[in-house]
C-alpha cells in the first residue's frame, strides 16, 4: 500500500469516526472472545492475511505468509478456538488491543482502504507478550454495513520473539 493516495478526508463521504467505531468494535469482540460475531464482520469473499515479519511488501502467492486465510479457513480458525484439542489457545489467551492512527485512504465504488496502528498485549501462562503493527484493511459496504474484504495485519516486529505464535487473531 505504499502507493496509496494521500488521505483526502474532505472529499470522502465515509467519516473517519465510522471506521474508528468499526475497528474498535472489532477489537472489543476479539478481546471478549465473541468470535462468531467477529466473523459476521467479514464478507464471504474476504481474506485474513498476516505477511511474514520480513516480507510486508510481498504478495501471498510468491512469498510465505504467516496467515493467508480465505473465508473457509477463517471459519475453521474460529471454530478451532473452541475445540478442546486446539491446544495453542486452550485456555484462551487474555488480550487487550489498542487501535489508533485510523486513516481512510480512499473510497472508490464502495471499496474503502483504511490503515490503523495496533498493539496487542497478550497474557498466556502468566507471561505477557506484545504484538505491534499496522492494519492495511480493505472494507466494503454491504446493505449499509461495513465488512472486511481484506483484513491485513502487518506485524512491525523483528520476528515473533517470545510471543512465539500467531495463535490469536492479530
Where on the chain is the footprint of other proteins (CB under 8 A)? 50-55, 58, 60-68, 70, 72-73, 76-77, 80, 83, 85-89, 125, 158-167
To which residue does cell 483526502 refer? 8
Least separation in angstroms between residue 42's CB and other proteins is 17
Least separation in angstroms between residue 109's CB and other proteins is 25
Is the CB of 112 or the CB of 170 nearer to other proteins? 170
Spatial neighbors of 26 by CB under 8 A, at least 6 apart, are: 38, 41, 99
What DSSP assignment string belongs to 34-65? -HHHHHTTEEEEEEEEEE-TT-TTS-TTTS-E
Output the nine-digit C-alpha cell for 46: 474476504
Least separation in angstroms between residue 159's CB and other proteins is 3
Least separation in angstroms between residue 17's CB and other proteins is 32
Is the CB of 24 or the CB of 63 nearer to other proteins? 63
Q: What does each C-alpha distance from 34 to 24, 48, 112, 136, 169 come to in angstroms?
A: 14, 17, 25, 23, 12
Is the CB of 94 or the CB of 142 nearer to other proteins? 94
Amino acid at each position: 500500500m505504499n502507493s496509496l493516495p494521500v488521505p483526502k478526508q474532505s472529499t470522502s463521504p465515509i467519516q473517519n469516526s465510522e471506521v474508528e467505531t468499526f475497528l474498535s468494535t472489532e477489537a472489543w469482540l476479539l478481546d471478549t472472545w465473541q468470535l462468531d460475531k467477529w466473523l459476521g464482520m467479514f464478507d464471504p469473499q474476504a481474506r485474513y492475511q498476516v505477511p511474514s515479519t520480513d516480507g510486508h511488501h510481498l504478495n501471498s502467492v510468491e512469498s510465505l505468509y504467516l496467515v493467508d486465510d480465505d473465508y473457509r479457513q477463517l471459519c475453521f480458525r474460529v471454530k478451532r478456538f473452541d475445540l478442546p484439542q486446539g491446544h495453542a489457545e486452550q485456555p484462551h489467551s487474555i488480550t487487550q488491543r489498542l487501535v489508533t492512527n485510523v486513516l481512510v485512504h480512499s473510497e472508490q465504488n464502495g471499496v474503502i482502504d483504511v490503515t490503523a496502528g495496533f498493539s496487542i498485549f497478550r497474557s498466556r501462562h502468566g507471561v505477557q507478550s506484545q504484538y505491534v503493527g499496522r492494519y492495511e484493511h480493505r472494507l466494503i459496504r454491504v446493505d449499509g454495513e461495513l465488512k472486511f474484504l481484506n483484513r491485513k495485519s502487518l506485524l512491525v516486529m523483528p520476528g515473533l520473539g517470545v510471543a512465539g505464535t500467531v495463535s490469536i487473531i492479530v
